[in-house]
Structure 1
């Protein structure tokens, strides 16, 4: 025991304070059981389009196996710049304002490490992706939650943000369409948020990994709002819209003063993203729009069915405008999110993620990914209904 304590003293205090991912815990538990319907892990059920896979294979056959430039293939950065300009009206220089990363996850880490000093406060709109607060803590920052609720469709207001601002506030981290709620922010709401950002001279980290998966209205990219380009670090990638989760390919875009500092960290930590994955991403962003649109149509159909079905069996659920998650309330059952998820998995073999792993505001909800087949969704609804009736 004394030896164990001695070894623990050699570990970082910061890393010991953070908890393992709550999403992975339920996924790992479900993987040990048979006949489980998993609505847990947030990834498309589509296979990466063949032309994208073929592009990667072709790069291997040509022997393109060396390092790329630290910031990524210039052809890929040029394609990203053209795509963002055409789709979302944001303009970045491929030479010095775009860094290709190992997934959007590395992009979030780079943005925080390049901007946060110990003690700086980072406002985080919750519920949110599980990595945000731990990554802030690991760089010595102080995560400050801004809670949203189902009553307002999980949108954040300018006044919600302003109430949390102190002299130590430096950054606000937002993500719309949102994981886990699927919430989106209309332009008029984002303009109000932008006014607060300007008033208090804040920096915005905008995680827009689900930008393309917007079902009812076009996505508004935060740096496209007047006066926000120079105040925003944009984080995105290929995992969700292009069904490329396992390729681990993302990117960060920012004014050069931020991009060059993120590139320094990336140089030392990663060198560069996978060369084969970069060639795949180049094909995806250039020639896979049709396949992406087909996925979006399918997700919209599943969303409409699943949310309607949840309401019919008695679970309050707002209509998510984007991503591929439903975030129903289970408060009427009197079970905590953890209790509900554990019992549902054990009794009916449906894997969902308890809402509390996404922050305090997620308690009383569960996250259900509808990125699975209609047959699986139909059966999942039947099992959830039976579970609720038996409580």
Structure 2
């Protein structure tokens, strides 16, 4: 356990709770938990399914056939990707669970996982739990926050078993063109590496952008799996339901781990998830328009405060540069202490996050305006 530090956001919650106990009205822009409601038709399906006592027993380890079929049908409609629901789809108790368990299925002592830096912390922590090593791939502004595959040393590639990617990206908000995914698939094929692409923000997009799936690349299923989640797309973060799809051998390994560790997802949640995937999707465009307005409020507010930021085409975050002379954590604490606003320091996502803070769009527009006004009122 000495290798496993407390989860970074658990520490943040404690900091914010302490401030609130002191009477501070904290505006928390740190966590990407959708504040907008789950659509009513999905909630209604959950209620009806929960009323049926036959749904209260142990669920299937591999998920209900109806949910696996709904996932496969959704991937076909959304990305033109064909999936076998029997062998290439497994539901997850949220994609975070899948990330950690996938690491256990793919790497072990002596192996290396290639990790984006900055990146979602569970990519690294799953590797640590599997007693493997992480090799950071810096995501730099000059490379449009895409990893430089050619910079990975040969001796690292010899032991690399998996490469984690995440586009649209958390925390940077960067997106990847399909040409980059084509390069990744070719790279993985040449170096015998599995690509694990985390894609929960594919349908949280702005300015007409439409995010692709890695699995759209010909031959991708031979070297890749993709994780997705209903948390962001359908405002279902607390429901804990997602999916892993793609390479059948990797999916089988993930199922083997999961069947020994968890007992699946409550059936009414699976039934409601199927309804979400199969139902009317037009509301998502209206929801994204709300996020886009919030994004613009933050960008305008940061600019007025003299803070540079990257304009995201997708995801739930604005990746902003700290003012000159400020380290990420110091600036975040300064803003919390003097403005009562929490911004996540970029170093929470890796060393390459130094010099940045992440701001979440998951707060009402009026609170975002207030946060920006508070930020503009302090010295830094």
TM category (shorter chain) comes to: over 0.9
Distance of aligned partners of 1:190 and 1:162 in 2 relative to their CA distance in 1, 3 Å threshold: farther
Distance in 2, matches of 1:131 and 1:386, equals 35
Matches within 5 A, 1:183-332: 183-216=174-207, 217-332=209-324
Residue of structure 1 equivalent to 2:56: 65
Correspondence 1:38 to 2:28 = yes
8 Å Cα contact 1:157-1:193 kept in structure 2: no
Distance in 2, matches of 1:86 and 1:178, equals 23
8 Å Cα contact 2:339-2:374 kept in structure 1: yes
Residue of structure 2 equivalent to 1:3: none
Distance in 2, matches of 1:308 and 1:162, equals 41
The range that moved more, 308-317 or 230-239, is 308-317
8 Å Cα contact 2:230-2:237 kept in structure 1: yes
Residue of structure 1 equivalent to 2:43: 53
Alignment counterpart, residue 101 of structure 1, candidates 88, 92, 101: 92
SS in 2 for 1:131: helix
8 Å Cα contact 2:137-2:148 kept in structure 1: no
Distance in 1, matches of 2:205 and 2:189, equals 27
Correspondence 1:16 to 2:8 = no
8 Å Cα contact 2:100-2:122 kept in structure 1: no
SS in 1 for 2:232: coil
SS in 1 for 2:101: helix
8 Å Cα contact 2:101-2:126 kept in structure 1: no
SS in 2 for 1:239: helix
Distance in 2, matches of 1:162 and 1:311, equals 39
SS in 2 for 1:16: coil
Correspondence 1:369 to 2:355 = no
Distance of aligned partners of 1:129 and 1:30 in 2 relative to their CA distance in 1, 3 Å threshold: same
Matches within 5 A, 1:89-128: 89-128=80-119
SS in 2 for 1:125: strand
Distance in 1, matches of 2:280 and 2:241, equals 16
Count of residue correspondences? 374
1:135-176 deviation line (CA, Å, top 9, x unaligned): 101101110001112233322243345678431112110011
SS in 1 for 2:72: helix
Distance in 1, matches of 2:15 and 2:101, equals 31
Distance in 2, matches of 1:158 and 1:119, equals 21
TM-score (norm 2): 0.94
